[in-house]
Amino acid sequence: MIALSLSEIATAIDGVLRLHGADTPDSVVSGVVDTDSRNMAPGGIFVAKPGETTDGHLFVGKAVEAGAVLAIVERPVDDAVTQIVVADVLQAIAALAREVVARVRAGGRLRIVGITGSNGKTTTKNMLATILRPEGETVAPVGSYNNAVGAPLTMLRVTYDTRFLVSEFGADASGQIARLAGLVSPDIGVVLMVGMAHAGGFGGIEATVKAKSELVAAVRPGGVAVLNADDPRVAGMSAIAEERGVAVRWFGESESADVRASALRVSAEGTDGTVTVVGRDLPLHLRVLGAHHVKNALAAIAAAAELGVAPDVAVERIGTVELAERWRMQVMGSDRVRIINDAYNASPDSMTAALRTLAQITGPDERMVAVLGAMSELGEHAHEEHAKVGLLAVRLRIPRIVVVGQEARSLYLAAVAEGSWNDEAVFFPDADAAYEYLRDELRDGDRVLVKSSNSAGLRFLGDRLGELFS
């Protein structure tokens, strides 16, 4: 974090300063800000966030041992450290992030990109950060730091030397993106797609559209909205941009897109094709597995172009990205048995894309195996959407469908009803039981997709299989 005095921090977060030791209101702090005491470093600021299973106030002492010199708390603690007491620590770190970014931005150097969408946020963020880092100091989220905690903590990492802040905005209810994006008013807002992810929390697809459009509404006047020309729900957000005096740049496969892809060829080595940027054709090669990541690449290229990066440079740098993120289409195992571990997030759209990718990269002498778990946060749509995935798996002629967990059972039943009989589709109550089966079932030439939401825990099953067949 940039250097601020204790009194400046207390004022920014509307807190009561309780000094300790030799500290004075003018004492300056500039260390890391985090809610995890294990991430503390000398000079750091520990945020004592209450949690569902524990309470950060219990770990202030650990943070102090690791070097924290300030604790932001909701109640005073006995630990020997200066504290700022606030009503709500989440609101406090959001207010502090707003203050820090505003101060850095006042220097005129910082440019901010916000990214949202039902799928692809983390991949697009990583691709864009890869493009931008050679241009100057770039701050981007670690993993999927895109919520009320992660987004402000990422913003607090900016310094006066930072040229680009890439923020990822996730949400499972309306108003969340508006609050997070409103902290920084991005220069560029990227909306990737609107699908069924988190539809249960939002209350339906139309509510999801409204929630994602909050990013476009938060882009500062004179900024740019980068929108998916192939998604009608996203394309409709251009009206919001126009009302706010925000320019629109389009990406997709549509002929009208400013940045578009064509002639795509998918293989186990990645995706090749042509990307056209304002009439200029460039060869595209993505190492990240799956044709669905092409849209993410186009969005990153379009955003980078608005930040002054030449298209050919952006395309070349994106070609160096080998992995979107851990547990996202992560290739493991070996040529003998290849494991594709994509079990960090799952929605109907990403599940469909992953299954299609499995079909595209499996050769005629190889066998497809789909290990599938639950898609979370679908609400009343859960049964129908899981059943659709089961039907798709059969129609893609996947000869071995392994369904794990009671929440995904409707997927298994739909596959059986569609004709996946004689143990072509099997069901297991948990990942351990599935592992015991797969350990003996998998054979040379198998191409195995492991796909589920994070909560289903199949990412660890994918890791075990990857290690077993490495």
CATH code for position 56: 3.40.1390.10
Q: Answer for the pair 138, 161: CB distance below 8 angstroms, yes or no.
A: no
Residues 422 and 284 in one domain: no
Cα 129 → chain centroid: 13
Q: Is residue 102 part of a domain?
A: no
Residues 343 and 259 in one domain: no
Confidence of residue 196 (pLDDT cuts 50, 70, 90): low
Which of residues 53, 86, 119 is at a domain's end? 86
Is position 364 within any domain? yes
Please indicate, yes or no, if residue 97 is contained in any of the structural domains.
no
In whole angstroms, what separates CA 341 from the centre of its chain?
Answer: 16
Answer whether residue 216 is part of any domain.
Answer: yes
Our count of domains for the chain comes to 3
CA distance 238 to 240: 5
In a domain, 101, yes or no: no
Question: Is 118 one of the annotated binding-site residues?
Answer: yes
- Over range 262-274, report the average pLDDT: 93
Same domain membership, residue 240 and residue 211? yes
CATH of the domain at 463: 3.90.190.20
Same domain, 311 and 179: yes
Q: The domain that contains 207 carries what CATH number?
A: 3.40.1190.10
- Is residue 207 packed enough to be buried (19+ CB in 10 Å), middle (13-18) or exposed (0-12)? middle
Q: What is the pLDDT of residues 152-180, one digit of tens each?
A: 999 999 999 999 999 999 887 889 999 99
Same domain, 117 and 230: yes
In whole angstroms, give the CA distance from residue 307 to residue 305: 5
Instruction: State yes or no: 120 annotated in a binding site.
Output: yes
Supply the pLDDT for residue 438.
Answer: 98
pLDDT tens track for 392-430? 999 999 999 999 999 999 999 999 999 888 889 999 999
For 376, other C-beta atoms within 10 Å of its C-beta total 21
pLDDT band for position 53 (cuts 50, 70, 90): confident
Q: What is the domain range of residue 141?
A: 109-318
- Choose the final residue of a domain: 27, 54, 86: 86
Domain end position, chosen among 51, 71, 86: 86
Give residue 51's pLDDT band: very low, low, confident or very high (50, 70, 90): confident
Note whether 260 and 239 are same-domain residues. yes
423 and 357 housed in the same domain: yes
Contacts of 310 (CB under 8 A, 6+ apart): none
- 119 among annotated binding-site residues: yes
Question: CA-to-CA distance for 26 and 45, rounded, in angstroms?
Answer: 16
Does 422 show up as a binding residue in the annotation? no
Do the annotations mark residue 54 as ligand-binding? no
Identify the CA nearest to 44 among candidates 30, 63, 31.
Answer: 31
Q: Is 333 annotated as a binding residue?
A: no
3-state secondary structure of 127: helix
pLDDT of the residue at 422: 83
Angle at 83 between CA 78 and CA 89, to 5 degrees: 105
Q: Is the pLDDT of residue 31 over 70?
A: yes
Highest mean pLDDT: which range of 146-150, 171-175, 436-440: 436-440
| DSSP β-bridge partners for residue 386 | none
Q: Is residue 95 part of a domain?
A: no
Model confidence pTM above 0.75: yes
Q: What is the mean pLDDT of residues 228-234?
A: 97
SS3 assignment, position 95:
helix
pLDDT at 106 over 80: yes
Task: Judge whether 374 and 455 are in contact, CB under 8 Å.
Answer: yes
> pLDDT for 279-323, tens place per residue?
899 999 999 998 889 999 999 999 999 999 999 999 999 999 988
pLDDT at 108: 84
Whether the per-residue pLDDT at 200 is higher than 60: the answer is no
271 pLDDT exceeds 70?
yes
Side-chain half-sphere CA neighbours of 360 within 13 A? 18
Which pLDDT score, from 0 to 100, does residue 199 have? 56
Sheet holding 446-451, edge to edge: 330-333, 338-342, 446-451, 367-372, 400-404, 425-428
Q: Are residues 392 and 286 in the same domain?
A: no
For 381, counting Cβ atoms within 10 Å of its Cβ (0-12 exposed, 13-18 middle, 19+ buried), the class is middle
C-alpha span between 468 and 470 (Å, rounded)? 6
| Residue 452 is labelled as binding a ligand | no
Same domain, 306 and 375: no
Considering the domain architecture, whether residues 348 and 312 belong to the same structural domain is answered as no
Q: Are residues 267 and 145 in the same domain?
A: yes
Q: Are residues 353 and 222 in the same domain?
A: no
Q: Which helix (H) or strand (E) holds 216?
A: helix 205-218
Question: Is 128 within the bounds of a domain?
Answer: yes
